[in-house]
Structure 1
Amino acid sequence: MAKAFGAESTADEVLEGIDLSGKRVLVTGVSAGLGVETARSLVAHGATVVGTARDLAKARRALAEAFHGSSPVDLVEADLASLGSVRKAASDLLTRAKPFDVIIANAGVMACPQGKTQDGFETQFGTNHLGHFVFVNRLVPLLNRGARIVTLSSAGHQLSDVDIEDPNFEHTPYQPFTAYGRSKTANILHAVALDSRLKGRGVRATSIHPGGIVTELARHLTPELIEQMRTRISRGASGQAAAFRFKTVPQGSATSVWAGFVAPADAVGGHYCEDCHVCEVNDDATSRAGVRSYALDLAHANDLWRKSEEMVGERFSF
């Protein structure tokens, strides 16, 4: 009988008894928080891990602390806010020609002040979505049959659908959490589009919400933004059985490894997961449970795919 996991499960508990020897995994954003813990847990269970980071020195320090000494994680420099950096990192990995069994698109930013990436995109959409869009899509040739792509999204997707007509807030007043919501919806839609394109070759893609965790992701939150978040969480929790609780970093890493290695591929492919289970569609604006239907709509995902290709100036055919 399969073990049952939930909100309080940790990555090590999810992977207990599982031998990942021979598995090669790519994790983006291994310089802090969830990325470091995800890499650590995978290595602890036998996987070979390649990690990306914008700041390699910071990543080395964080990984050395996690591994209590020398880290076995192979580091690659990649700044998701720069398509030039992303493309160079992908090219370096393609040149090595070593296949991957799982890609965990973990890196991201949240609720930043209004700004632009090196390529002129709104910071959150450009970093969280477009950076991963180019990086992951370019690495598809390296994926083994049976591979999985796990993209970290967030319950923050409930804050806003993507705006395909105005992705850079050129005509819309900028709100940090609205921008974050757009980028996290884009992460889910990218996974939906990838799954549709790749499942015929045995590769599945899914998106997950790791839960609320206090990490460096929240470094841009002002007291005003924190109060907005608390108000929304309190409102969303009304009438629900359990109030919101923050997770630890090991708990926050659990759904990533569950979706990547433990859950049946057909169960998670094209879906959105949280607390080590597949979420149901829930369009109740007063609830924080589940996934909004706009985030799983394949036609909408394909529209975003075409818009993303137009924005980055690159087409991807699988």
Structure 2
Amino acid sequence: MSRSFNATSTTDEVLAGIDLSGKRVLVTGVSAGLGVETARTLAAHGAQVIGAARDLAKAEGATEGVRAQARNGGGLELVELDLASLASVRVCADALVTEGKPFDLVIANAGVMACPFGHTADGFETQFGTNHLGHFVLVNRIASLIASGGRLVNLASSGHRFSGVNLDDPNFERTPYDPFGAYGRSKTANILFAVEFDRRHQASGIRATALHPGAIQTELPRYMTDETMQQMVAVIEQSFPGGMAAFQWKSVPQGAATSVWAGVVAEPETVGGRYCEDCHVAEIDDGAGFEGGVRSYALDPENAKALWAKSEEMVGERF
């Protein structure tokens, strides 16, 4: 499509004039922030949205506006999903497969950031287990439901620039734990998962992409201590000429815009197997800093295949 968007574009601007009636979309993490806004704009344009959340009571309250703004047959249904528990992930996925209704778009939006060291219910390091492995199992278990012409959109982050994946020690059993390093590993994994999923499914007309939504003040940093927050500010100051004065927060509608752009508006061959930011495909940039671009290790097809194999080994399931 010829329309051009940028870092300041909002979800409604990106979807202006687009009718999603009859489309069915799964969005994870619809209890706050980007997930709620993504669900709202999709339902407002006619899509039937299946919103997944760990805390259904919280999600019910957070998504009242989604239902209120739904138009042209759009709507919202909530399902329970705790990405930090593979038992919960499998129950959710199995219920969706049993229902048998296809998806035109899956947006893996949920995640945690820079939390203290901990483990998921299955013993995985919290960020890698929640951000990557939970979505890895969910998406692969429902892959048969993604219609030809459908897409997978993984929310990654410029934080992938903190670190590549460490497949020799994914749970920090021998490596000193660093909250941002762990976050970087999980976000790199989100990108590599999209790369390999795209390779495996594009012959069936299904494409996958990953993206950085931008820096948005949502609940995502809720686990960050004052110390880790100061560390993040220091990274920003070092990365942007002029420091914090040159740095711009995005609004939530601006932050969710790239998700709907990559999932609905962009041509599939443009975004398939790529990494997007600010409503465009990012260039490879292996330099220092976090101003933009994607590190080459996050798009490397061999890294993607290795991560896939390691992920299958860790979850005890082959796809």
Which TM-score band applies after superposition, normalised by the shorter structure? over 0.9
Identity level (%):
64
Counterpart for residue 147 of structure 2: 144
Q: Distance in 2 between matches of 1:266 and 1:65?
A: 34
* TM-superposed deviation, 1:239: 8.1
Alignment check: 8 A CA contact 2:160 2:185 kept: yes
SS of the residue aligned with 1:108? coil
Task: Report 1:88-237 matches (<5 A).
Answer: 88-237=91-240
Structure-1-length-normalised TM-score: 0.96
* Equivalent AA in structure 2 for residue 87 of structure 1: R
Q: Distance in 2 between matches of 1:222 and 1:81?
A: 21
* TM-superposed deviation, 1:65: 4.2
Counterpart for residue 25 of structure 1: 25
SS of the residue aligned with 1:73? strand
Q: Distance in 2 between matches of 1:136 and 1:287?
A: 28
* TM-superposed deviation, 1:130: 0.1
| Count of paired positions | 315
Query: CA 1:160/1:131 → structure 2, altered by over 3 Å: closer, same or farther?
Result: same
Counterpart for residue 286 of structure 1: 289
* Equivalent AA in structure 1 for residue 184 of structure 2: G
* TM-superposed deviation, 1:67: 4.1
* TM-superposed deviation, 1:243: 2.5
Q: Distance in 1 between matches of 2:309 and 2:17?
A: 42
* TM-superposed deviation, 1:230: 1.2
Which of 247, 250, 254 matches 2:250?
247
Task: List runs of 5+ in structure 1 lacking aligned partners.
Answer: none
Counterpart for residue 53 of structure 2: 53
Structure-2-length-normalised TM-score: 0.96
Q: Distance in 2 between matches of 1:9 and 1:69?
A: 20
Task: Report 1:296-307 matches (<5 A).
Answer: 296-307=299-310
* TM-superposed deviation, 1:50: 0.3
Q: Distance in 2 between matches of 1:140 and 1:66?
A: 26
Alignment check: 8 A CA contact 1:158 1:288 kept: no
Q: Distance in 2 between matches of 1:185 and 1:3?
A: 29
SS of the residue aligned with 2:181? helix
Alignment check: 8 A CA contact 1:185 1:295 kept: yes
Alignment check: 8 A CA contact 2:81 2:89 kept: yes
* Equivalent AA in structure 2 for residue 99 of structure 1: P
Q: Deviations over 1:33-52 (max 9, x none)?
A: 00000000000001110010
Q: Deviations over 1:183-223 (max 9, x none)?
A: 00000000000000000110000001000001110101222
Q: Distance in 1 between matches of 2:128 and 2:290?
A: 24
Alignment check: 8 A CA contact 2:113 2:220 kept: yes
Instruction: Single out whichever of 149-158 and 223-232 deviates more from structure 2.
Output: 223-232
* TM-superposed deviation, 1:113: 0.5
Q: Distance in 2 between matches of 1:302 and 1:5?
A: 32
* Equivalent AA in structure 2 for residue 217 of structure 1: L
* TM-superposed deviation, 1:286: 3.5
Instruction: Single out whichever of 286-295 and 80-89 deviates more from structure 2.
Output: 286-295
SS of the residue aligned with 1:253? helix
SS of the residue aligned with 2:246? coil
Task: List runs of 5+ in structure 2 lacking aligned partners.
Answer: none
Q: Distance in 1 between matches of 2:105 and 2:65?
A: 24
* TM-superposed deviation, 1:285: 1.8
